[in-house]
Amino acid sequence: MAKKGNGYTQVELMASIASKILEDGKSVFVGTGLPVIATVLAQRTHAPNVLIMYEAGGIGPQCPVIPVSVGDSRTFYRGIAASSMHDVMSALQSGFVDYGFLGAAQIDMFGNINTTVIGDYQYPKIRLPGSGGANDVGSLCHKNIILMKQDEQRFVNKLDFMTTPGYLTGPGGREKAGLPENTGPYRVITQLGVYGFDHETKRMRLISIHPGVDLKEVKRNCGFELIIPEVVKTSETPTEKELRILREIDPSGIVLGK
């Protein structure tokens, strides 16, 4: 992916923003790709005591470089436990995981996610990978961070299929469905901006737009009405230190690209 004028790419920007959300001493359920880069960046900067948990059972590792899957041996490197998927999912169900990372093919205004199918379920245009552990993460983590590309086909008014619950139909939706209180989508990070969710209505709201992006572009690439504050902040860009660490984490450019 091409670098911006001051030497960082969209992927590096998104990783930097995601890393800053994570707090020291908190636990985070991590998938491979951009989430692991963001989490390891946080671990090597402001959150040295973040507890990283991989789906295959690696708990508390200090990955030297990016693993290629959640079962890669590097997900256990210097960890506190080489456990199992059962134990990690049990920790989710017990309410012990603070943050979860998710991707999405589609998302709606309440943070509900589709990773199953585009088009009619029986006669799809595109069959997607499905849930994996995404439904567990979206249902049970205290706060979920969604990393995805933004356009009108992805930020949609109505999902083609709901794989993972956000705030469902709005206020009280998760609680009515029997999901734990004080859980749900927290941040959405795209190539255009950063989004959160309104406390009262549970609708997606704009928090910041990235350098070089204007509000018209954000609106044009959204299929529903966003809540937009009177003053829109500009996203914080990666520091030189962060860029150096990111490239150390992914020396082959598996996620960051060449």
Q: Is 242 in the active site?
A: no
CB count within 10 Å of CB 168 equals 20
Measured CA to CA, the distance from residue 40 to residue 33 in angstroms comes to: 11
DSSP H stretches of helix in 53-102: 85-93
Name the catalytic one among 23, 55, 230, 240: 55
Q: What share of the chain is helix, strand, coil (3-state, %, to 5)?
A: 25, 20, 55
Name residues whose C-beta falls within 8 Å of residue 137's C-beta, 6 or more positions apart in sequence: 29, 92, 97, 100, 101, 102, 144, 164
- Active site members: 55
